[in-house]
């Protein structure tokens, strides 16, 4: 028993201290680091759960067409839309820096275009805004021209779509995100030319 204890101190006098202390030191650092990482992770998780970003929702609440006229594959028409933008987030508000609204015929072609006033949307807010895209002598695909003429005589245009393209930024406390492009697509909009008929709301697919 005597030789083993005698030899190590002689051979590793300098390494004795680091070897004896560093494991404890390293263990201490490791535990501290892990604890910090766990705490930061927990804080992020709690923050995330309390903020929990939700998507923005879009609905076409009202759509009317006035002065629809098709001649020689060209269209004149004024669209009258009411769109509902819902920000369901509890803490995140949204800057709409620019908003463009287009009316399409199915997914085939764009009929009319409008630019809407930018706005700031608080958290848990529903904002309705109007858009009035106008088509003036817009050249039509012959299939679309035919469909619109049929629609005009029957009083129902049933394959309209609305596309919203907006540049937005999110705001959380004093933090502002960079700019994102929001695209909302609202298909299968049915418009009665006799505007006394009820309009059926259409929910849009929103992609950010």
Ligand X SMILES: *[C@@H]1O[C@H](CO)[C@@H](O)[C@H](O)[C@H]1NC(C)=O
Instruction: Give the residues lining the site for ligand X (CB under 6 A).
Output: 69-71, 74, 76, 122, 125-127, 136-137
- Please report how close the Cβ of residue 202 comes to ligand X at its closest, in angstroms: 20
Q: State the Cα–Cα distance between residues 9 and 105, nearest whole angstrom.
A: 89
Q: Residue 93 or residue 163: which is nearer to ligand X going by CB?
A: 93
Q: Residue 46 or residue 71: which is nearer to ligand X going by CB?
A: 71
- Please report how close the Cβ of residue 165 comes to ligand X at its closest, in angstroms: 21
- Please report how close the Cβ of residue 167 comes to ligand X at its closest, in angstroms: 19
- Please report how close the Cβ of residue 136 comes to ligand X at its closest, in angstroms: 5
Q: Residue 15 or residue 117: which is nearer to ligand X going by CB?
A: 117
Q: Residue 70 or residue 189: which is nearer to ligand X going by CB?
A: 70
């Amino acid at each position: 028993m005597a030789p083993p204890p005698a030899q190590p101190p002689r051979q590793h006098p300098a390494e004795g201290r680091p070897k004896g202390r560093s494991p404890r030191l390293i263990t201490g650092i490791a535990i501290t680091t892990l604890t910090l990482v766990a705490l930061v992770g927990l804080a992020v998780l709690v923050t995330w759960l309390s903020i929990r970003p939700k998507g923005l929702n879009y609905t076409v609440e009202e759509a009317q067409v006035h002065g629809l006229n098709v001649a020689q594959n060209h269209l004149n028409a004024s669209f009258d839309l009411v769109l509902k933008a819902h920000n369901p987030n509890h803490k995140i508000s949204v800057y709409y820096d620019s908003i463009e609204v287009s009316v399409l015929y199915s997914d085939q072609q764009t009929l009319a275009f409008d630019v809407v006033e930018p706005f700031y949307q608080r958290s848990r807010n529903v904002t309705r805004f109007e858009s009035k895209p106008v088509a003036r002598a817009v050249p039509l695909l012959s299939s679309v021209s035919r469909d619109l003429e049929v629609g005009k005589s029957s009083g129902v245009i049933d394959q309209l779509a609305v596309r919203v393209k907006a540049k937005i930024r999110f705001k959380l406390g004093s933090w502002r995100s960079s700019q994102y492009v929001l695209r909302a697509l609202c298909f299968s909009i049915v418009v009665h030319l006799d505007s006394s008929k009820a309009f059926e709301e259409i929910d849009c697919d929103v992609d950010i």
